[in-house]
Amino acid sequence: MFAVAIDGPSGAGKSSVSKAVAKAAGFVHIDTGALYRSVAYYALSNNIDVKDEAMVGKMLSEITVRLVLENGEQKVLVNGENVTGKIRTENVSMAASDISKIPSVRAFLLDTQRKTADEYNVIMDGRDIATVVLPNADVKIFLTASAEKRAERRFKELLAKNEEVEYNKILEDVIKRDRQDTERETAPLKPSDESVIVDTTEMSFDQSVDFIANLIKERL
């Protein structure tokens, strides 16, 4: 199987770029953030404190999380319930960042990610794909952009959905999540030694897609 690992901070465009590249290359796109989001969503829905390791550990022993692919589209089922449509809120974003610090959560989701890469040619995006999940990936990319640019993209996305948002609040959240994801002890966000750093601050979406598609072509 062929694997492309795409890591980077939130809002760098990993998911949308990966999706487009996967489509063009005939690969399956796996968004691993959705797994952390689903676990966080389940905790929030059941009044479980996402920072309480013991409570979260107990919760993990009581749930199953499955990643399924339907016509190439990824869905995440928690205890059989498809939560995919419910995990894209700002609340869940921050809770996912909090819960992902807990080592037992990371260990719990590791197998699912690796098994998927065993079964399909994947473009897998996350924070620790090249460093931990798929250290033997064929292509390793670290996709990033300035915090201001990432907040601006998120701001426009939310405005387009008619959500009431404040740019400064989004920027604050982006910076806070960056810090949490980068400074945590287990599997922090960082490029692997072999990762190609792609900074999209000054790149359009199409340019980012072309750049990465070319990197993959070179190694195929």
Report the interface residues with ligand DC, using CB under 6 A: 10, 32-33, 36-37, 93, 96-97, 100, 126-128, 177, 181
Please state, in angstroms and rounded to a whole number, the distance separating the CA atoms of residues 89 and 57: 24
Residue closer to ligand DC by CB (options 140, 177) is 177
With contact defined as beta carbons under 8 Å apart, do 5 and 133 qualify? yes
CA atoms within 13 A on the CB side of 106: 19
Q: Which residues contact 206 (CB under 8 A, 6 or more apart)?
A: none
Tokens for 61? 């022993």
Closest Cα to residue 191, out of 151, 147, 152, 135?
135
List Cβ neighbours of 27 (8 Å cut-off, separation of 6 or more): 2, 4, 21, 120, 121, 122, 123
- Nearer Cβ to ligand DC, position 93 or 192? 93
Residue number, 88 or 214, with CB nearest to ligand DC? 88
Distance between first and last Cα of the chain: 11
Reading the block at residue 82, the tokens are 């498809």
* 3-state secondary structure at position 144: strand
CB of 33 to ligand DC, least distance (A): 2
Q: 4 vs 126, which CB is nearer to ligand DC?
A: 126
Comparing CB distances to ligand DC, the nearer of 36 and 108 is 36
- In the complex, the smallest distance separating the C-beta of residue 31 from ligand DC, rounded to whole angstroms, is 7
Quote the least distance from Cβ 109 to ligand DC, whole Å. 8
The least CB distance from residue 89 to ligand DC, in Å, is 11
Kindly state the smallest distance separating residue 173's Cβ from ligand DC, in Å: 10
Choose between 136 and 218: whose C-beta lies nearer to ligand DC.
136
In whole angstroms, the minimum distance from the beta carbon of 78 to ligand DC comes to 15
The two beta strands, 122-126 and 139-144, are unpaired
